[in-house]
DNA sequence: ATAGTGACAAATG
DNA sequence: TCATTTGCCACTA
């Protein structure tokens, strides 16, 4: 990370997400104070996130996973990490989370 | 300095 | 349900 890394505040926020809960890219972007971020920026940040950042707890609006946007390996890893925390999907075929139950409401 | 790109999102068709 | 368009702004070449 460099001194110009504007993602630190974001990473700090992501690290406060409780186990078993998730937030959307847009929600994460708005939750960061002092820095002007957009949902796209959050995506870019997650791609290069440090290992101590629970990047798997950030999903798309509506509880979708970034299918096709990331490698199949990463996709499986994200799903595995979430299920390990008790977050289950609507079905085994679709990578969609039941947000009404797992979305982290806070900020 | 400029143009193209993108782990997004909401509105349309 | 899927495809397209537009706004968004840091990053990369």
Residue A2 has pLDDT above 70, yes or no: no
Taking C1' of C10 and every protein CA, the nearest residue is A41
- For residue A38, the model assigns a pLDDT of 95
Domain ranges of chain A: 3-102
pLDDT tens readout for residues A16-68:
999 999 999 999 999 998 888 999 999 999 999 999 999 999 999 999 999 99
Distance in Å from C4's C1' to A71's CA comes to 24
Render chain A in DSSP notation, one character per residue: --TT-TTHHHHHHHTTSPTT-BEEHHHHHHH-SSS---HHHHHHHHHT--TTS-GGGEE-TTSB--TTTS-HHHHHHHHHHHHHTT--BS-SSS-BB-HHHHB----
- For residue A3, the model assigns a pLDDT of 54
Top-level class of domain A3-102: mainly alpha
Question: A58: exposed, middle or buried (C-beta count within 10 Å: 0-12, 13-18, 19+)?
Answer: buried
A83, A95 in Cβ contact below 8 A? no
The answer to whether A99 CB is within 7 Å of strand C is no
The answer to whether A94 CB is within 7 Å of strand C is no
Distance in Å from B12's C1' to A60's CA comes to 20
pLDDT tens readout for residues A55-86:
999 999 999 999 999 999 999 999 999 999 99
């Amino acid at each position: 990370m460099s001194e110009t890394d504007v993602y630190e505040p974001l990473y700090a926020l992501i690290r406060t997400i409780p186990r078993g809960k998730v937030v959307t890219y847009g929600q994460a972007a708005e939750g960061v104070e002092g820095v002007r971020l957009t949902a796209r920026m959050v995506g870019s940040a997650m791609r290069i996130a440090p290992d101590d950042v629970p990047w798997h707890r950030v999903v798309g609006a509506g509880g979708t996973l970034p299918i096709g946007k990331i490698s199949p390996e990463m996709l499986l890893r994200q799903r595995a990490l979430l299920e390990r925390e008790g977050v289950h999907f609507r079905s085994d075929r679709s990578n969609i989370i039941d947000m009404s139950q797992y979305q982290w409401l806070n900020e």
